[in-house]
Structure 1
Amino acid sequence: MKQNKKTISILTAIICLLLGGFLWQGIYLPKSSNGAPPLAGRVVGGLESKAENLFLIEKGQGLQEISENLEKENLIKSKIFFELYVFFNKKQNQLQAGGYFLSLSMNVPEIVEKFVSGKIAKVKITVPEGFTIKQIEEKINELFNTTRTVLVVLRVGDFKNEFGFLTGTPDDLTLEGFLFPDTYQFFYNESSDEIARKMLKNFEKKLDLNLKEEIEKQGKSIFETVIMASLLEKEIKTLGDKKLVSGILWKRLENGIPLQVDATITYISGKKTTEIPKEELEVDSPYNTYKYLGLPKGPICNPGLKSIEAAIYPEDSNFWYYLSKPDGDTIFSKTLEEHNIAKAKYLR
């Protein structure tokens, strides 16, 4: 009888040790990446060390759904281990919604600590000069592997009370032209309004008092200047050429001559091409600078500081025409005859 009790005690101890070891491995050893399928969370250039995979916890998700998603994305060995750890440590109501950078080298306690800390994932993004608002939106959503950022629906009227430089810009326009191209850090859970506001604040900072005073001195508005800057951004490469073209375009405006800027046509069509069919020059759009006199209805991209400065400080010349060669160089002409000769030479 004593022998049986001893045997049972030994077996119980062995089972407990095995079970304890099993639980310890599942909880404290990280998930191995060997043979694991690709993670559902997009691999992005995170700013945190050892953080590569963006894992999302949506608002309203409970422990079971979170653990299932972790298991599905191969970040933990089993959802059971995760749920047991959270339950016994009374963390069920402390897991915060948001995006988190996780790696396969993290164990369950480290992952839980991330979720409890609320340190939402932050992504570094560089917005190139000349990007449209649509391109900015697409780039942010691609990095966060989501479709939640929607910048194209935001309107100038929603931000006028906060940003004085928007005075004079029609309320119904998008923020095209004013989302300053730069390098930013965005949190996963930042709303479209917050992202736009961060970029507008940067625009306000870059357009300093001296530039604003010069615009006012010339009798122009910030809105007109940004439209011109957006044309220069899309049309011309170098700062020197931008200033010359700025002088040409302002001069054409003052003399009632159509601007005939090709970039306004590609903005309407959305095509990425330098070859514009003749019929597209007749498209009825307030952005068509071939069909209508004056500046287009609004900016056609988000220009950088050099283009804004070129719009503010144009260079006078005897030129009335210009064209961009396929290699990006700019050819200037004084007469229409010279311009047509240049077109035949460089664009045929």
Structure 2
Amino acid sequence: MTKENKDSRKLPKGERKKLVYEKVAEQHSEAKVVRKIVFTLTILFVVLFAGLGGGGYFYIKNALQPVDETNQQEVPVEIPIGSTSTGIGQILEDNGIIRDARIFKYYVKFKNESGFMAGEYKLKPSMDISEVIDALKTGTVMKDVVMQLTIPEGKQLTQIAEIIAEKTNREYDDVLKKLNDPDFLEDLMAKYPDLLTDKILDDQVKYPLEGYLFPATYPFYEENPTLEEIVSTMLDKTRSVVLEYLPLAEEKGLSLHELLTMSSLIEEEATQKVDRDKISSVFYNRIETGMKLQTDPTVLYAHGEHKDRVYYKDLEIDSPYNTYQYYGLPPGPIANAGVMSIEAALTPAETDSLYFLATPTGDVLFSKTLEEHNRKKNEHITNQ
């Protein structure tokens, strides 16, 4: 018996109990460090192994993504009693819910996740790995979906408010007022400090949550969810998607707010046929050469209306969102952007184009000079 143990026997019972708790806490802390080391070494091994086949980083990154973001079909999955994380991961992979059972196992260990419940689940290939884990711990997806909110890409906050109001039988004005309520925003900023920064409260920002409500289909399993529950669910999704790209954004010199702003411009200018990375390239080329962005969607956003065409008189509006009058990015996002536009904002194509033109057929034509751009404009737009 060590001197320390002998001395502890002389302490009062309450003090001895406190000492035991402190030692247990210390052991748990040490165990946590060991787990992180083991996880890191394991992941390094997996990355090295996967890297031999072509890109360890993307192997891990892709393994944590949904199998199919667009697939909302529920898949019945049975988790037997006594299943280990290894067994659960294999069941999920076999049922097409996750991409890689090994990464699931290591992710669960690293996050120290536990409390998985055995039973029958209804899971979707569109769920990311964190959503799958939450479902297995709470059993929420075993319930029937009562209501679904589908928020398409490129929608603005006012349009999202309309969708929420229609689906929840609320008044549109009440929904929009709540989404802009200072107290509500303060609570959200406290809950999501890594996502919602003071940038959203800038005096020039039209709607603080613009661009932060990720486009997706959101299932709800209880009747009449509160607006707090709806918005929190959407912000959870935004955080799970966007924060993954933050290191790349920082390398490019973009804050999260600037990333979402640039992504929203790309989203609003893109068509089904266009390469978004080329539009992204034009925007960055313009900024680097000291030109204004001059993108029509920002003018329409300043006016607060949706039109098929912008006229010269529309360009006269004095607004920090009017990129025909002000240099650089607007004060904030002008719509919600999907993953494709976010990735385009981070990885623009290498071009020397300074202009692009969307034709009535949905094609986008790129030009290096204003003369070339005007020629294409006369050919495809003016004569229509």
TM-score (norm: length of structure 2): 0.56
Q: Distance in 2 between matches of 1:273 and 1:266?
A: 7
- Cα RMSD between the aligned structures? 2.3
Q: Distance in 2 between matches of 1:225 and 1:248?
A: 16
What pairs with 1:213-224 in structure 2 (closer than 5 Å)?
213-224=247-258
Q: Distance in 2 between matches of 1:322 and 1:278?
A: 18
1:153 aligns with 2:177: no
Match of 1:320 among 351, 354, 357: 354
What pairs with 1:172-251 in structure 2 (closer than 5 Å)?
172=202, 173=205, 174-186=208-220, 187-209=222-244, 211-238=245-272, 241-251=275-285
1:137 aligns with 2:161: yes
Deviations, residues 203-231 of structure 1 (Å, cap 9, x unaligned): 0111243x111111111111111101101
Distance change (3 Å), C-alpha of 1:244 and 1:188: same
Paired residues of 1:133 and 1:175 also in contact (CA < 8 A):
yes
Deviations, residues 268-288 of structure 1 (Å, cap 9, x unaligned): 223332321211101001110
Gaps of at least 5 residues in structure 1 are 1-118
Q: Distance in 1 between matches of 2:165 and 2:342?
A: 27
2:339 corresponds to: 305
1:126 corresponds to: 150
1:294 corresponds to: 328
Deviations, residues 146-175 of structure 1 (Å, cap 9, x unaligned): 215335424654422222022362325410
Gaps of at least 5 residues in structure 2 are 1-142
SS in 1 for 2:342: helix
Paired residues of 1:248 and 1:319 also in contact (CA < 8 A):
yes
Give the count of matched residue pairs: 230
Q: Which residue identity is paired with 1:139?
A: I
**Which shifted more, 182-191 or 260-269?**
182-191
Match of 2:296 among 262, 266, 287: 262
TM-score (norm: length of structure 1): 0.61
Q: Which residue identity is paired with 1:225?
A: L
Distance change (3 Å), C-alpha of 1:313 and 1:331: same
2:196 corresponds to: 166
Paired residues of 2:292 and 2:328 also in contact (CA < 8 A):
yes
1:102 corresponds to: none
Q: Which residue identity is paired with 1:260?
A: Q
More helix as a share of residues: 2
Paired residues of 2:280 and 2:344 also in contact (CA < 8 A):
yes
Q: Which residue identity is paired with 1:170?
A: I
What pairs with 1:106-117 in structure 2 (closer than 5 Å)?
none
Q: Distance in 1 between matches of 2:285 and 2:229?
A: 39
Paired residues of 2:168 and 2:224 also in contact (CA < 8 A):
no
CA positional deviation for 1:326: 1.5
Deviations, residues 72-94 of structure 1 (Å, cap 9, x unaligned): xxxxxxxxxxxxxxxxxxxxxxx
CA positional deviation for 1:315: 0.9
Q: Distance in 1 between matches of 2:181 and 2:338?
A: 21
SS in 2 for 1:243: helix
Deviations, residues 263-317 of structure 1 (Å, cap 9, x unaligned): 1111122333232121110100111000111111111101111111111111110
Q: Which residue identity is paired with 1:196?
A: V
CA positional deviation for 1:340: 0.7
Paired residues of 1:239 and 1:306 also in contact (CA < 8 A):
no
Q: Distance in 1 between matches of 2:187 and 2:363?
A: 40
Deviations, residues 93-147 of structure 1 (Å, cap 9, x unaligned): xxxxxxxxxxxxxxxxxxxxxxxxxx99931121100111111111121123321
2:374 corresponds to: 340
Q: Distance in 2 between matches of 1:201 and 1:266?
A: 29
1:13 corresponds to: none
Q: Which residue identity is paired with 1:149?
A: V
Paired residues of 1:134 and 1:152 also in contact (CA < 8 A):
no
SS in 2 for 1:135: helix
Paired residues of 1:121 and 1:188 also in contact (CA < 8 A):
no
CA positional deviation for 1:337: 0.3
Q: Distance in 2 between matches of 1:239 and 1:313?
A: 18
Q: Distance in 1 between matches of 2:329 and 2:181?
A: 22
